[in-house]
Chain A
């Protein structure tokens, strides 16, 4: 355990090369998630696409005989 502590402290001091993922990873992740939720939220709620969902549990049957 002390060795890990040593290593962790030492590593924290030697982090001089930041990769693309360190710099922008969080932004890319959040941006992608925002894009995804907004687009598909719109598709499933506002956009009237007929998905053909099953009537079971959803549709209340009504009289059809004339």
Chain B
């Protein structure tokens, strides 16, 4: 079924493509459109036959159009205009078999934005839970957490030489009377 669809497409197009090919030459006369020879620097190149909608037919493989120099214009290759690409024979054949091109298939999405935004939102909800707890549930902090108590407590720990090897006393510089940098 697929093969017969391909052959019907080829039959319709084979006449017009040979006319187009014979028209290439100097000055760009004839054919569906002229060949642009206005070029700025660059390397030489060829325009493959499928770019102008040519397919192998009974006459043999399509002729290659040769340019002495390529320009930076991506549409210099005289093929169908942008809108006509989707209707051209190679693309019709491709779309029969494949739903998407590799580029379409591999294309990235914006899904990460929704995901990250949702994650951050629910983390924010967690913070709201904390606020609720502090407001409605927690008792006041014990007096031993006040700044005066903490500083006195810290000095007492240092005087006792608590954890002198790797702990709190190890972080205190007794000569300069300050925390080690």
Contacts and interface: CB of A to CB of B under 8 A. Distances in A.
Nearest to B102: A7
B172 to A, nearest CB: 8
- Chain B residues touching A, majority SS: helix
The bracket for how many chain B residues form the interface is 35 or more
A13 to B, nearest CB: 7
For the complex of A and B, 4 pairs with smallest distance between CB atoms: A25-B113, A61-B155, A28-B117, A32-B120
B3 interface: no
16 contacts: A2-B74, A5-B74, A7-B101, A21-B110, A22-B110, A25-B111, A26-B110, A26-B113, A30-B117, A35-B124, A39-B128, A42-B131, A43-B130, A55-B150, A56-B168, A60-B151
Contacts of A6: 74
Nearest to B148: A62
Contacts of A48: 134, 141
Interface of B: 74, 82-83, 85, 101, 103-104, 107, 109-114, 116-121, 123-124, 127-128, 130-131, 134, 138, 141, 145, 147-148, 150-156, 158, 168, 171, 179
Contact of B103 (A7, A30, A50, A63): A7
Contact of A32 (B104, B112, B117, B145): B117
Contacts of A7: 101, 103
A50 to B, nearest CB: 5
A62 B150 CA distance: 9
A20 B114 contact: yes
The bracket for how many chain A residues form the interface is 35 or more
Contacts of B134: 47-49
Contacts of A47: 130-131, 134
